[in-house]
Chains A and B, each alone.
Chain A
Amino acid sequence: MTPAARQIVFENVSKFYGEVLGVNKVSFSLAPGITSLVGPNGSGKTTLMNLLTGLIRPSQGAIYVLGLTPQQPIEFFRQVGYCTQFDSFPPGTTGYDFIYWPLRLHGFGRDQAAKLTNEALERAGMAQVARRKVAGYSKGMRQRIRLAQAIAHHPSVLVLDEPLNGLDPMARAESIALFEAIAKQGMHVIISSHILEEVDRISDRVVLMSSGYVVAEGQIREVRKEVHDHPMQILVRCSNAARLAAAAFELDHVVEAKILNDGHGVLVRTRDPEQFYLLLNKIVSGGLVEVDAVAPADDDVNSIYQYLIGSDGGPA
């Protein structure tokens, strides 16, 4: 399989709803793993997912998913599962039927479809209530039954629009574990979420969106390095904070070195973290300071999100 045949590719994709911009000139390619779409309300995340799955068509540009397009629905939708944000279901359907009949449309026989249905229900933790009508489900159960339908046919690309909405902490943890397990099998998992801490923890890469534009895309730490306007913050827990702060101040690229309130650490803001780490090595090897922990303080999605989009990552 060629690399392009394993990737999701957006080529200069734009979508306009009349005169309203959905997304504009989006180009990127995604390798297998977990990719998070992050951005405020109306930034174009759902539009991007709907474009990816063919629910809407691009005004210009092209999209390829594992070398396929939605114009080849039989091949395409065997590879793709999409859990949308639409909280609506066919009237009168039960949880079991909601998964079983789409599997039959995939071409699975009765037994195989039943087996896959039960497996998906188990994985989503919905086996006990599968024979009940979906109309009687709680919001979290409806979310999970949609997730179960999206994963039932073992897709290579799983697209999830706000999949953690409405889930209790236990279900949320289970869902995240499920996404990680799917990604570990070499599949694509594309998630939009406004719960940035969780996205940050599980994502291999992020696509940051604002007002229909992709403002940054790539591995979180790589994206952070590209944000030159905001010096990187590094937290050092150490024994002699004043000494470290003084040494740090002598470096040109350090713009701030703040001793922590408890006196046992320094928060450094630097434009060149590599140079700072070299300095830190020197100081530690010279025995001047005993370091307990060193950690970047703002290379998470939330910080990058704030720097690039100027928002606190409220509901997306």
Chain B
Amino acid sequence: MSAQDLVARAQKWSKEQPWRLFGSQIFILVRNEVRRNLFTRRRIWIYLLALIPVLIILTHVIFDRSNTDQAQIENDTQVLAGIVQLYYLRLGIFFACMAIFTWLFRGEMVERTLHYQFLVPVRREILVVGKFLAGVAVTIALFETAVVACVFLMYSRFGSAGKSYVLDGPGLGQLGSYLLVTALACLGYGAVFLALSVLFKNPIIPGVVIMGWEAIAPIFPAWAQRLSVTFYLKHLCPVSLPIRGPLAIFTIVAEPVSPLIAVLGLLCLTIATLALSCFLIHRMEITYTAE
């Protein structure tokens, strides 16, 4: 089959798809998922996970109001980088995504409600995309708000110097990078945990394995490192942390890649993992008794 035939077939296939229906179905799935599962009381610990650094910085602002010289801005910038790179990317977003994305399908199996999703005229790929986007919307909203709050609190206590650092200095660029990294982390971890929840009955143990893998990936060859989410995120972090000793493994960049490649690489990893979820969900059967 020639390339022209393939293109013609792809165009024909594309024209035959009810894209508008898919769009409205995804919108409804996102809306339902967010309302039903994500903004509920049992998710309070996830909100706390996002807000802990905000509360710590707030305490710091209240009790350390006097120390506002220029050098302290540089120190606080390092602290902020540590919060984002070591806490949010390694722990906060990781565990929040584990809780939210593994529950999207596995939770419905446990609650014995997944059959309702399988008995409506919605393609299972659309179901995966809808649920994934719902999880992404919630985690991004939550963690980006937290990151913005951290940046605001961290620099606001410096008054005009802090304002100048953010608006005229590198602060705004750093904030943009942190927001990008946070969003990509939610996408990457979200896709991985969604796939794990479809693949395993109990995704917690594989989740712990993934956590270990994300930590030790830097000591593996370059091709293997590309299978970890943090490999791409590290290249996008604007401030390098001066960490030495064993903990340096979390920040070391063994083989630098351009930011564009890092973004595209993570998006490709996300799409490939989502494609795996779509394949698995097609084969999924409703056998609640086995749960």
Contact = CB atoms under 8 A, between A and B. Distances in A.
B285 A86 contact: no
A89 B123 contact: no
A75 B112 CA distance: 25
Interface string B93-123: 0000000000000000001110110111111
A77 B127 CA distance: 14
B287 interface: yes
A282 interface: no
A106 B120 CA distance: 7
Contacts of A261: none
Given A101-B28, A104-B28, A107-B24, A86 B288 contact: yes
Interface string A2-37: 000000000000000100000000000000000000
Contacts of B21: 74, 107
A105 B28 contact: yes
A106 B121 contact: yes
Contacts of B37: 91
Nearest to B22: A74
B12 interface: no
Interface in A191-242: none
Contact of A90 (B18, B28, B113, B119): B113
Contacts of B122: 73-74, 77, 105
Interface in B264-291: 283, 285-288
B36 interface: yes
B119 A86 contact: no
Nearest to B108: A90
Contacts of A133: none
Contacts of A93: 36
A63 B124 CA distance: 19
A55 interface: yes
In the complex, which range does the number of interface residues on chain A fall in? Answer: 20 to 34
Given A88-B111, A91-B111, A57 B119 contact: no
B287 to A, nearest CB: 7
B78 interface: no
A86 B112 contact: yes
A90 B113 CA distance: 6
Given A57-B285, A101-B28, A107-B24, A90 B115 contact: no
Interface in B64-111: 111
Contact of B119 (A82, A88, A107): A82
A186 interface: no
B116 to A, nearest CB: 7
Given A90-B36, A101-B28, A104-B28, A77 B116 contact: no
B5 to A, nearest CB: 24
A107 B124 CA distance: 16
A99 to B, nearest CB: 11
B25 interface: yes
Contact of B123 (A55, A56, A74, A88): A74
B121 A76 contact: yes
B32 to A, nearest CB: 6
A86 B24 CA distance: 28
A156 interface: no
Given A17-B287, A88-B112, A104-B28, A53 B119 contact: yes
B120 A55 contact: no
B31 to A, nearest CB: 9
A82 B115 CA distance: 10
Contacts of A271: none
A90 B28 CA distance: 15
A73 B123 contact: yes
A92 B36 CA distance: 7
B18 A74 contact: yes
Contacts of A56: 285-287
Interface string B6-31: 00000000000010010011001100
A63 to B, nearest CB: 14
A125 interface: no
B119 A75 contact: no
Contact of B285 (A55, A82, A89): A55
B126 to A, nearest CB: 9
B113 A88 contact: yes
B23 to A, nearest CB: 11
A89 B111 CA distance: 8
A112 to B, nearest CB: 13
Contacts of B286: 50, 55-56
A181 to B, nearest CB: 22
Interface in A62-96: 73-78, 80, 82, 84, 86, 88-93
Contacts of A273: none
6 contacts: A73-B121, A74-B122, A88-B111, A91-B36, A91-B40, A105-B121
